[in-house]
Every structure is written in structure tokens, then in C-alpha cells.
Structure 1
Amino acid sequence: MGFFAKTSRSHASLNVPALVQVAALAIILIRCLDLLMIFNLLGLRGILDFIHRSVQTWNLTLVFLASLMLVFVEIWCAFSVVKGRNWARWLYLLTQVIAASYLWAASLGYGYPELFSIAGESKREIFRSLVMQKMPDMLVLFLLFVPAHSRRFFRFQ
């Protein structure tokens, strides 16, 4: 078989529900917008300082690399979701649980760096901000798991 040979999975006959397409596109756009907002907030000098600080200790380096890996895994999930891969939506759910848990812990002082924390005066205020920040991701998860068309699409792929 050649490189361009079509397989049964590569045909365009895969009927992807609109809600799954919207969810996949939203994952990609949310992550790209997050990166653009971080670049805008920190600027080039701030990004370089952040990277420089992130490689000072092994712990910071691991957190930095894990955050980058998490972004790439989320984007990979978006492309896989459109192909009907059921594991991709579950992996995306796992990435959201990990990200929200780390943000919550870092905001309460159990993690670092400061970029991965949410400012707030009380746990309730931090939690409210966290929920508001993760609202787009929760909507994407809703689109992937709740509508009958989405569930059926992943069941028969």
C-alpha cells in the first residue's frame, strides 16, 4: 500500500455531528486564544523571563513541560475527536480534571509558578474564578458527552 492509499477510515463518508465539529474547533481555538492572551499579557520579555524561571529547578521545569504537553494533548484530542475516537473525549476530560485540579491547588498555595494560579481572597472567590475560567472547557465537554448525536457518534466509531 502506498502512502496515499485510502483506507476504510480515511474516506470522507464519516458523518461527524455538527456539535462534535464545534467542540473540536472550540478546543483548538480556546487553546490558541489562551496562548495568545498569555503572550499579550507577558510580552516577549515576560515570556523569556518565564521560561528562564521555569528552567531554574527541576520542579519548575517539570511543571512547565507538563503544561506544554497538556496543551498539545488537548489539541491532539480535538483532531482525534473528529475522527470518532472515543478515547479522545475521555482523554480530554482527564486533561481538564488535571488542569482544574492543578489550578485549584496552585491557587491555594500548593503549587507553582504564579502563572498557574488564580488570585483571590478566599477559597470561594478562587473557586468561582476557576469555574468561570473553565466554563468554555465545560461547554466543550457538554457537547462531547451529553447530546444523543454525540454519544451515538462515539459509540459506533
Structure 2
Amino acid sequence: MEWFSKQRQSHARINAPALVQVAAIAIISTRCLDLFMLFNMLGVRGVSDFVHRSVQTWSLTLVFLASLLLLCIEFRCAFVIMKGRNWGRWIYTVSQIIAAGYLGAASLGFGYPELFSIAGETPREIFTSLIMQKLPDILVVLLLFMPEESRRFFRLQ
């Protein structure tokens, strides 16, 4: 049988550099840790109340669903990055820009809802908190773009 003897051609590369592996694992682990800490802090009842509050109006529902979609996109990017696909690192970077932009805007009162915002009295405090909260993501983006080994890995696809 001919279809049993054919080898499948895969465009994915097996040997990702250590820095790319660290970046992909960091994406997955930070997102899982974020979810774990959220569930631990809120508990089952708190998570239920959070979801209930998030689906009370159309705008809250859209923001909630968009945040879940963004989480799924980030997980997908992590696995695609391990395969050496260049578009994965770019989509991850764009997703971080969108998340930071929306979080900053909502925290400063320009976005809706306040449910997804950072507490702070002055814009400087909010900006500092935002940078501290996004620091792991900034470091992951730097790992994907700055080292020559990482750039070469994605260029040779």
C-alpha cells in the first residue's frame, strides 16, 4: 500500500534553540500560573461571580470573550513558536501590544469596563504597575527577537 510507505513532510523544525524554548515555555507557564492564581484568589464562588458580572452587558461580554480569545491565541503562538514559525512570534507580539494598550486605556478611564483595569491614583502609578505586570511578556518578546540565535532560527524556516 502506497500511502503507508510515504513519509510525511513536515515544515516544522525539531531543534529549537534554548532561548526560543525558554520563551515558549514562559508563555505557557505564565498564562497557566496567571489562571491558577486567579482561581486561587477568587475561589469557585468568586470565579462564578466574575463570569456573571462579565456577561451582564454586551460590551462586558465582548471584552470577556476577547480576553479568552487572546489567551487561546497566546497558547497557540507558544506552540507555533516551538515549531519555528515566524508568524507566531509576530502575532504574540501584537497580542501583547493590544493587551497592554487596552489595559492601560481602561486603567486611565478611556476604555470600558473598569473590571479589566489596574488600580492606581495617578497615571504614573498606573503606568508603573502596567510595566511591572507586563515585564515577563516584554522579556519573552525580547528573547524571541533580540538574540541572533533566535532571529536565525525564525529566518531559516
What TM bracket, shorter-length normalisation?
over 0.9
Task: Give runs of aligned pairs for residues 58-137 of structure 1, distance below 5 A.
Answer: 58-137=58-137
TM superposition shift of 1:5: 5.2
Q: Spell out, residue by residue over 1:90-129, the C-alpha distance to the aligned partner (whole angstroms, 9 max, x if none).
A: 0000000000001101111223444421111100010001
Distance in 2, Cα, partners of 1:112 & 1:81: 32
Q: 1:28 to 1:83 in 2, by over 3 A?
A: same
Percentage of pairs with the same residue: 66
Q: Which amino acid aligns with 1:59?
A: S
Match of 1:9 among 3, 8, 11: 11
Query: Tell me, which stretches of 5 or more residues in structure 1 are unaligned?
Result: none
Query: Tell me, which stretches of 5 or more residues in structure 2 are unaligned?
Result: none
TM-score normalised per structure 2: 0.92
Q: 1:95 to 1:32 in 2, by over 3 A?
A: same
Q: How many residue pairs end up in the alignment?
A: 154
- In the other structure, the counterpart of 1:35 is 35
- Root mean square deviation of aligned Cα: 1.6
